[in-house]
Chain A
């Protein structure tokens, strides 16, 4: 089972929910931090990293000896990543989407692909301090500074999902391609929001995204009590189950600021996250029955 934790708005508590929930699930668990621009889960779980791999994307390399400057590569490229100027072919790796079109269309077989590094994946495991028996498999992606292509990195992080156990995905904020890459194919999307106008507005966008992907979903209201009741009214209207509320509490905020889990400073939350997991399991099973 794959549970993707998303929000629309940044800073609502995705990482808090993803890390605490991972520690409380009784089954074998894998946590994948797919916020490859700004991954934070490792700051709360301090994994032992045992593996490291590059994320590479193929980019074209032109053999000048074979090239006849016919410009067909330039014509097929929708991203402006290859240009023929007089007797010279220029490539712009940062614009390349690695579609392979230039190589496929070249009549002279003059284009080969070479690797460009977009970022890295680090893998390892966590022994949560709160539970001596448990071991969480961990992977996150880290996009190189100055790169723009997050989805291929996210897709590669997701290859580390455990098909048998439970996989938790910590998704990036927003509603566009990186978020889709972190949600698509999940069995459940847990949306984390805060009860403020910004939280509500971005939640409505996130809900639209989840609906397009047709994934069952539920809500966690973080910092409950700090704003107003509009998020709850919206959830009622849209029939989205509110599965958990985490009250605004300076103790939690202070623990978070130091990189501590909620379940470490307030152990009673272990029970609440376990219940959250059970509720998600029930909702996923219901959906499977419908199908």
Chain B
């Protein structure tokens, strides 16, 4: 089993458009969208949802006004300022958005007046697409635990890939370098950083590259929209060389990416012979020929 995780640090550099295009070039592959906060891959893949599961994340503290004697200990203990004090008469409630789900107030309330129900924080789906099966998810608005949901759907993807005798996982990752990104990359063969030739693109790709190095995961980089600023594009490739990251190619700026997106297709489907499409095919070949993508991972 092999897994390539598409990341970028900065949002909007083309991770999802590229992941979908690669999916169209792969066989025996399963897609996994780990951008559970703001997933977009389904907009290109038109998944037919076969199975739906609830994601039960953390718990939430709720004060039972019948039992509460308004001693205020919960407010004193809460490190997240989630306990709201009301006057006339004195009473306390918990702000569901600020509650971290740590349960400290629940366990230490002398009146045992705080309930701690588990809450459904989102859903995840197993779907079929024209390029192969896909696992994706939707974290509820304003919810926590995105890292746990990512870990869960990656685990499910691996189990199903094994069972269905597939051999490649293509993972469309989230932006940033935090909790869901770290949960997206563990054990992968390699990450592909989609960088854009801008000052922000450079700054952010460096941080993802550092993250990959920190967790000892091999990285490759491709520059999207290269001709928007070729000097910055070259700078990205130089940074890659300096950091032992393989540059796998350049994709020209092409408004047809947006046109393809509007049709719910990949650019390879709508503009098969464009320069961008040819660049993507070459990049895919370069990635798959790299020794790191030939290693079987036991996951």
Verify that A and B bind, or say they do not.
yes
A-to-B contact residues, CB < 8 Å: 8-12, 15, 35, 37-38, 40, 43-44, 76, 78-79, 97-101, 104-105, 143, 145-150, 172-178, 180, 184, 194, 196-198, 201-202, 205, 208-209, 212-213, 226-228, 250, 253-254, 256-259
Task: For B210, list chain A residues within 8 Å (CB).
Answer: 145
Identify the interface centre among B102, B142, B232: most chain A CB within 10 Å of its CB.
B142
Task: For B107, list chain A residues within 8 Å (CB).
Answer: 76, 101, 105
- Complex A-B, nearest 9 residue pairs according to Cβ-Cβ distance, in ascending order: A10-B11, A11-B12, A99-B102, A174-B37, A257-B229, A37-B176, A259-B199, A148-B179, A101-B104
Q: Are the C-beta atoms of A212 and B200 separated by less than 8 Å?
A: no
Interface readout for B82-111 with A: 1 if CB under 8 Å, 0 if not? 000000000000000110111110011000
Q: Are the C-beta atoms of A78 and B258 separated by less than 8 Å?
A: no
Task: For A8, list chain B residues within 8 Å (CB).
Answer: 38
Measured CA separation A180–B98 after assembly (Å): 9
Give the nearest-CB partner of B77 in chain A: A104
Q: Does B59 contact A (CB under 8 A)?
A: yes
Task: For B97, list chain A residues within 8 Å (CB).
Answer: 180, 184, 212-213
Q: Are the C-beta atoms of B146 and A176 separated by less than 8 Å?
A: yes
The answer, among A76, A98, A208, A227, for a CB contact under 8 Å with B103, is: A76
Q: Are the C-beta atoms of B79 and A100 separated by less than 8 Å?
A: yes
Give the nearest-CB partner of A94 in chain B: B182
The answer, among A79, A176, A180, A227, for a CB contact under 8 Å with B258, is: A227
Number of A-B residue pairs having CB atoms within 8 Å of each other in the complex: 184
Q: Are the C-beta atoms of A12 and B104 separated by less than 8 Å?
A: no
Q: Please report whether the interface of chain A is mostly helix, strand, loop or mixed according to DSSP.
A: loop
A-B contacts, 28 of them at CB < 8 A, read A9-B11, A9-B12, A10-B38, A12-B12, A35-B176, A40-B203, A43-B200, A76-B104, A78-B101, A78-B102, A97-B100, A99-B100, A143-B178, A145-B214, A148-B178, A175-B142, A176-B139, A196-B258, A198-B40, A205-B38, A208-B141, A212-B97, A213-B97, A226-B255, A227-B261, A228-B262, A250-B228, A258-B199
